[in-house]
Chains A and B, each alone.
Chain A
């Protein structure tokens, strides 16, 4: 269990750094959604299923969709 949680935390940290580093904004948004998704799994493992549901639906799905719509209106690459 502790190995699984550590693996998730490491992937989450990698995703968070990647979201900051990526020049391609679409990739950055997907990395941020990955962070939200793993946060939801961690909330569930920490016995907070209420928060996990909200995080998965809002953080991973709706926020990512809104960012992607915004990218479609503007530029895809950061200067």
Chain B
């Protein structure tokens, strides 16, 4: 009986969703704002990557919110796991020579790739979040391959806090110099040059360092626990 009722309910929900989605013309532009970003984005922000110009410039305040959410998640995890069996050092079997050497060889290259991704966020695909996640996956590789290595917790916390602080300070400088929060007060420069698009590359470097150190410290917290 319950099974039949749930199947009937599913059918009703499916019909409702398909009826409401059938009205939406997918692929057709309904709003003018997307076309404006594509047409005017490079001229207004100086960033050739339109996604970056939306994420950091037009919707920069939302990005600050996202960064804050990640910050709170990392703090919460640290608070939940704090103080439980941190001091006992467990004997872990060291990884084989091939594995640890390979990890050591790959680690700086992954760091370099992540830094490239967030430094060139305004020119090529990618940005602070993607570059930070790549850097964190490099730290994960080190944790798996060279088990005795640990990141410096103070340094990672410092990078995390300074990153968030720098983002807010740049936003506040925007108020005093440009009139509103996160206004692009630096010169836009030539499109396609590395030093262009005003504050966008600075913010993405800051976000990249912050996200990378945050995700790395999340992994560090979890691995220390297990």
Contact = CB atoms under 8 A, between A and B. Distances in A.
Our verdict on whether A and B bind, yes or no, reads yes
Interface of A: 49-50, 53-54, 57-58, 61-62, 65-66, 69-70, 72-73
A58 B133 contact: yes
Interface of B: 49, 51-52, 117, 125-127, 129-130, 133-134, 136-137, 140, 144, 215, 218-219, 222-223, 225-226
B223 A62 contact: no
Contact of B125 (A50, A61, A66): A50
A54 B215 contact: no
A59 B134 CA distance: 11
Contact of A57 (B130, B218, B223, B225): B130
A69 B226 contact: yes
Contacts of A69: 222-223, 225-226
Contacts of A61: 133, 137, 140
B150 to A, nearest CB: 15
A38 B66 CA distance: 25
Nearest to B135: A57
B204 to A, nearest CB: 12
Given A49-B125, A49-B126, A57 B137 contact: yes
Contacts of B49: 50
Contacts of B52: 50
A66 B219 contact: yes
Contact of A50 (B51, B134, B136, B137): B51
10 contacts: A50-B127, A53-B125, A54-B129, A57-B137, A58-B133, A65-B219, A66-B218, A69-B222, A69-B225, A73-B226
A54 B222 contact: no
B35 to A, nearest CB: 17
Contacts of A54: 129-130, 133
